[in-house]
Structure 1
């Protein structure tokens, strides 16, 4: 079983590295779309962005999430830092979808639309990837994330007489 976990972990790490690199590279490719480029230049950049997103970036994201989910259950990693990581992964998936929307929009508007600014997308991709890496490597204690009064019982009665039944 440990060899299976090691293989899945290797696939997960490789897919995440490819996914994160793609989320950084694709906005840079999108910035190459310029109004007034010739048709051949537009087709070249459009082909790179479209195929990069659909044939490389999205499969890497699906493999990363699937392998991560398998590891979550195989290793039984139901700890607070993992839930913080999953929140950041959810944000990374949202960024992935946003970039996909930009790729589609650039294709729909042909060579008539200037691309969105690249720096916010790059900053988000780098910040989310670095945040995930930090949480995975540091495995911070949840006490750091929440104050003491939220993590310990208060030994008080509920403010209602009867506990609601759903």
Structure 2
């Protein structure tokens, strides 16, 4: 059971991360295309994002969560890995937003953005790989207090007052 779940998790991660790495390059192609070709590229990217990348991300997170509970891996390095996976989710959501905005009539995706997002995605994937393959022994005291204290992040936001 666990072996199958791991296989599903790893396969879904490969597809999800591969999709997140490919999307910025596809977004950058938008500025070089005429209206008809841009509409075709938009359909292609939407299909890729909705039919492949998003389900793979969902499956990776669900299978990973199930493995977390089945293997009872409640360690500091695993919690940091979950934080990094949260960053992948943010990258995924940003890609969805860019997909909606870049194909507007005046939409554009600067080439530098492609390289920045690709490098950020590679860095997050790299952090996840290091945490998983090395499983570093991180002491509880090495983690900042706001990550160790339940509700610390919420109390930080409570001090922020909305602008009138």
| TM-score bin, normalised by smaller chain | 0.7 to 0.9
Of 134, 139, 164, the match for 1:138: 134
Match of 1:38 in 2: 34
Call closer, same or farther: CA 1:145–1:100 in 2, change over 3 Å: farther
Match of 2:8 in 1: 11
Deviation (angstroms), 1:145: 7.9
Deviation (angstroms), 1:113: 2.0
Answering whether residue 70 of structure 2 is matched by residue 68 of structure 1, we say: no
Q: Distance in 1 between matches of 2:122 and 2:102?
A: 23
Deviation (angstroms), 1:115: 1.1
- Which string of whole-angstrom CA distances, capped at 9 and with x for unpartnered residues, describes residues 29-78 of structure 1? 0111016x323211221112111111111000000000000000001011
Match of 1:27 in 2: 24
Q: Which runs of 4+ in 1 moved over 3 A?
A: none
Match of 1:162 in 2: none
- Structure of larger gyration radius: 1
Match of 2:80 in 1: 84
Deviation (angstroms), 1:129: 0.6
Deviation (angstroms), 1:119: 1.1
Q: Distance in 2 between matches of 1:39 and 1:78?
A: 51
Larger proportion of helix: 2
Q: Distance in 2 between matches of 1:118 and 1:16?
A: 21
Q: Distance in 2 between matches of 1:145 and 1:92?
A: 26
Q: Distance in 2 between matches of 1:139 and 1:27?
A: 30
- Which string of whole-angstrom CA distances, capped at 9 and with x for unpartnered residues, describes residues 97-128 of structure 1? 01110001123x13x22114211110111000
Match of 1:159 in 2: none
Match of 1:161 in 2: none
- Which string of whole-angstrom CA distances, capped at 9 and with x for unpartnered residues, describes residues 66-100 of structure 1? 00000000010111110010000001100110111
TM-score by length of 1: 0.80
